[in-house]
Amino acid sequence: MNKSEWDRLGELEADSIHYWYRQKYNLPLTDPRYTNATPDQIRLEFYADIAWQIKRLREQDPDFDLEAELENRKFIEKAKSEPGFIEDWCKEMERKLAENNEEFRDEEGKFTTEKIEALNPEPAHTKEVTLEEIEQAEEEVRKKDGCKKS
């Protein structure tokens, strides 16, 4: 086998419940405590460990919500892997909040996005700027600071 095949097998093994079991108890592949354990025993140990960790978290924080925590982790992973996800999510949240706000309804009482869009002008980093606008801004800063053009 070449290196990339070993790498792939290593990644698969690292994600396995059997690897978790060996790591938890610091067992080599040849240890009888590992080789004699059935898949059901290993699985039971894995889920018992998860249940124990959740119980500890709830004892430390009575308001701990596992489902919310898992959703937060999914959100973070999505934010890391999908460019523009945060911006899209923020726009969607603004839209949802605005739907419940009379201020964002038209004369007929229908929800409209025009007022939201007016509150969110195009971000400066995405706005196209001409060289003339840049030079003008630099000149204003120099005048303000009392500097001369070099």
pLDDT tens for 6-48 read 888 888 888 888 888 999 999 998 999 999 999 999 999 988 9
pLDDT of residue 27: 92
Lowest mean pLDDT among 33-42, 46-55, 65-74, 113-122: 113-122
Q: Tell me the mean pLDDT in the region 125-130.
A: 60
Tokens for 1?
């086998």
Q: Tell me the mean pLDDT in the region 60-72.
A: 80
Higher pLDDT, 116 or 34: 34
Higher pLDDT, 31 or 90: 31
Q: Tell me the mean pLDDT in the region 97-119.
A: 65
Q: Tell me the mean pLDDT in the region 115-124.
A: 57
Q: Tell me the mean pLDDT in the region 111-135.
A: 62
Calculate the alpha carbon distances from 34 to 45, 46, 124, 138 in Å. Answer: 12, 13, 59, 70
102-108: Cβ within 8 A, 24+ apart: none
User: What whole-number distance in Å separates Cα of residue 41 and Cα of residue 36?
Assistant: 10
Domain positions in the chain are 3-60, 66-145
* DSSP count for the chain of H helices, then E strands: 8, 0
